[in-house]
Amino acid sequence: MKIISEAKAHGGTQGVYSMESEACGCDMTFAVFRPIKAKERLLPVVWYLSGLTCTHANVMDKGEYRRMAAELGLIIVCPDTSPRGDHVPDEPDNWQFGKGAGFYLDATQEPWSKHYRMETHILTELSDKIAGHFAVDMGRQGIMGHSMGGHGALTFALRHPDRFRSCSAFAPIVEPSTADWSRPALEKYLGADEALWRSHDAVRLIEDGARFGEFLIDQGTADGFLDNGLRPWLFEEACKSAGIDLTLRMQEGYDHSYNFISTFMDDHLRWHADRLG
């Protein structure tokens, strides 16, 4: 693990690091915020998964999470959204696919399967680095995300309910197998058999029997992607049918940007802290 930068923030440390990733076949960058309380005891960790076109830096620079994370004693880990490097295949004119758009899954189709293995990278490789280098209680993990990262947070929680104690999302893609801006990506990464997409689709996972204790979702009513890409009411229907507790808050006048995310970040961190203990 290499230190790219470390700076004091709210009494703790905001760091940016890189590691060699066998899963992605390249160096992967990630950010970790450690409150000062980490010097005294092991702390719970909340993973933040970013959205399309983003890196670890977007939420680090604009998410405004450090003050509340320091107060609550939460370690925040922000992975990148895809593999990086000139040797990594990409569609540079397509912002919904390739670099910046890994969709938090392990691709099975060539040429993407050699590098686009974000689920293995985050849940195995990066998780091992976090456990080995930071004062984290890995028995108390929460996960959250925005947009494509919200999709990742919901599916990771549903696929690994024994690992995560809490899950929340900002404007998540809840049914990527039918959304305009995610369906083509699933086909390229996973192939044409839509049955194989179901385990990477939050609504389909619930339909197929996956369960998680409860969810918090905030969604802006002025979000330009609401009707074609996000559609939180589909997740609401699935949760209701399955008896899963969902707090869905439609926030009047808010869009898809970090102005929206930063406004409600404190609420989400408190949500996680209450459930992580």
Active site residues: 147, 223, 256
| Cβ atoms < 10 Å from Cβ of 7 | 9
251 strand-pairing partners: 220
**CA dihedral sign of residues 119, 120, 123, 126:** negative
CA distances from 53 to 69, 95, 155, 266 (A): 25, 6, 20, 24
Residue 141 sits at the vertex; the CA angle it makes with 130 and 256, to the nearest 5 degrees, is 95
User: H/E/C letters for each residue in 249-275?
Assistant: EEECCCCCCHHHHHHHHHHHHHHHHHH
Please choose, from the candidates 195, 196, 29, 48, the residue with its C-alpha nearest in 3D space to the C-alpha of residue 113: 196
Q: Which two tokens stand for residue 18?
A: 């890189």
Q: Which distant-in-sequence residues (6+ apart) come within 8 Å of 63 by Cβ?
A: 48, 258, 261, 262, 265
User: H/E/C letters for each residue in 220-253?
Assistant: ECCCCCHHHHHCHHHHHHHHHHHCCEEEEEEECC
**CA dihedral sign of residues 261, 263, 265, 270:** negative
